[in-house]
Amino acid sequence: MTLPAYTGRFAPTPSGYLHFGSLVAALASYLDARAQGGQWLLRMEDLDPPREVEGAQAAILDTLGAYGLEWDGECIRQSQRHAAYAQVLEQLFRQGLAYACRCSRKRLEPYGGVYPGFCRDAGHAADDAAIRLRVPQLNYGFSDRIQGDFSQHLAGDVGDFVIRRRDGLYAYQLAVVLDDAWQGVTDVVRGADLLDSTPRQLYLQELLGLRQPRYLHVPLIIQPDGHKLGKSYRSAPLPTDQAAPLLVRALRALGQKPPAQLTRAGAREVLAWGIAQWDATAIPRSRALAEAQLE
Ligand code: GLU
């Protein structure tokens, strides 16, 4: 079987609408795929219904359409993939690679996000408990195409991490690894807020014998007050009637040099220019860019 040389994806969470920071990440992933003749897939990461904003899924699809960011095939929804997650979770639990944790949030508060291992050897049953993956006393690192070498000591920096929450919802770390592998993703291009998640994902890939994609993390766009442009913060949703100027602005944020007159063209022309001229090496090697400083 021959695998396609390049399969990329955009994987938004419908806990909000797309904003300028999501456009930068989506555009980078789209152009990197198309410039290499690759596929570009769309996956809706709707793992957390209580945090989902009503209408966000439809709005995300409409916005991508208005910006000319056409994906290949069907949009996959993680809410349809629970059986696959459950199967792997049960396997990890049976093998003792994961265990049930009954610690309350309050009990863990003093540990700054690194799980101290209280339930590691407790032998709790899996129901009404979070499931954590045991991590080794090892560094997991990779070479990001833009950000360079990045590694974390899993036990010291992260600790055993949650792969299914106590309320039964599957965790992003598990779902993203299974779905990237299942969809044959060769290249992950996404926001630099996820750099810190990548070593956990590498460990899961290794445990499950999955192929490791290449990674490229693009700078986050932050507001003057230091807020990440994101769903947890009220950032403006992308207007659908200004696709070309905002695509040009996103290209500039990615270090590309589009000619000024492109702002008056249509979204498709901007994308065609972007595909033809794409230079991933020009992306700023920075984890964040201030929105106010963009042209
Ligand atoms: N769903 C994640 C987000 O919207 C992105 C996941 C990924 O690209 O790996 O932040």
CA distances from 207 to 7, 68, 212, 215, 239 (A): 22, 38, 11, 19, 43
C-alpha 47 to ligand 1 mean position (Å): 11
Can you tell me the distance from the alpha carbon of 92 to that of 89, in angstroms, rounded to the nearest whole number? 5
pLDDT above 80 (res 295):
no
pLDDT band at 229 (very low <50, low <70, confident <90, very high): low
Q: If you average pLDDT over residues 237-250, what whole number do you get?
A: 95
Question: For residue 3, what pLDDT is reported?
Answer: 62
pTM assigned to the model: 0.95
Ligand 1 pocket test target in 47, 174, 194 with most atoms within 8 Å of CB: 194
**Euclidean distance between CA atoms 274 and 27, whole angstroms:** 9
Tens digits of per-residue pLDDT, 107-132?
A: 999 999 999 999 999 999 999 999 99
pLDDT score recorded for residue 243: 97
173-197 pLDDT per residue, tens = 999 999 999 999 999 999 999 999 9
pLDDT reading at 75 higher than 80: yes
Contact 248, 271 (CB under 8 A): no
Domains and CATH numbers, the chain: 7-79+184-193+210-294 (3.40.50.620), 82-172 (3.40.50.620)
Ligand 1 midpoint to CA 48 (Å): 13
Share of the chain above pLDDT 90, in %: 91
Measured from the Cβ of residue 125, the count of other Cβ atoms closer than 10 Å reads: 8
Cα–Cα distance for residue pair 176/235, rounded to 1 Å:
25
Rounded to an integer, what distance in angstroms lies between the CA atom of residue 270 and that of residue 251? 9
**What is the CA(11)–ligand 1 centre distance, in A?**
5
Q: pLDDT (tens digit, 9 = 90+) per residue, 132-168? A: 999 999 999 999 999 999 999 999 999 999 999 999 9
Q: Give the nearest ligand 1 atom to 190 CA.
A: 8
Q: How far is CA 234 from the centre of its chain?
A: 20
